[in-house]
Amino acid sequence: MIYDKLIQTDELLPRLGDTNWLIFDCRFDLADTAKGESLYRQSHIPGAIYAHLDRHLSSPITANSGRHPLPRQDELVEWLAQCGLRKDTQVVVYDDSFGAMASRLWWLLKCLGHQTVALLDGGWQAWQKQSLAEDALIPLLTPSSFNAVYDKQYMVDTDAVLDNLQTGEFQLVDVRSVERFSGKLEPIDPIAGHIPGALNRPLSDNLDAQGLFKPAQVLKDYYAPLQVDWTSRQQVFMCGSGVTACHSVLAMVIAGYPMPRLYTGSWSEWIRDNTRPVVTSI
């Protein structure tokens, strides 16, 4: 059985200790960047390797970048090789934010051509709710010779988004909350609002009341209106920094649509230049 979208707790449990499986703990708190790793060291799914959003899944911030620039390809690939990733490895990623952080690693691996990667549905909360195995052991790593390159067909940069204001070649879909999109509330970035022409589809709508992804058909119906005028390849998802938008990219794939593109810099990069237009709808 290959898992390339979601995996359930009861499907992961019997594979703990499987040498051809890698589990990554992606817990991260934007307000306390050390918290996720601290929690990991206290307790995690047995065998899980910690993936730090800033250290492993992003590169350093620059004067022109957003808050979470894409990790350098060579550094990401080297780290994954040190973790023991091979072409046939089944990867599972999880967090404690119902996939909002772990989906970043899911997306990065997809962009590197590694298809056998799945998000643990419900994440750490679902695992703990069932009182499943935990430990605090740091796994011993067996490095591999993994090598890969980014497939940039899944990525859109700021220049392309700026050009799109004139050409209208794709539909920008912003997954931030309604309050942040409208400009009514902005707890993270210095400027509030959204990019002209963007549609708002909050990522919270991907989940049910238990924090699990909604069924594929429900997600298909939710995103179906986007397909009327734009194919999946003509849709570009964005968020605050290019991290949580991966959650909605995954939701689209679960729904059965082709994988859409991601505006990797997203809102926090867009507002680096105050000549770029911003819309508020308070």
- As annotated, the active-site residues are 239
CA distance 139 to 116: 21
Radius of gyration of the chain, Cα coordinates, nearest whole angstrom: 18
Angstrom CA distances, 241 to 74, 118, 182, 247, 257, stand at 21, 22, 17, 13, 23
Distance of CA 249 to the CA centre of its chain: 8
Neighbouring CB atoms inside 10 A of 65's CB total: 20
CA distance 219 to 227: 13
By C-alpha distance, which of 21, 25, 26 is closest to 2? 21
CA distance 54 to 94: 16
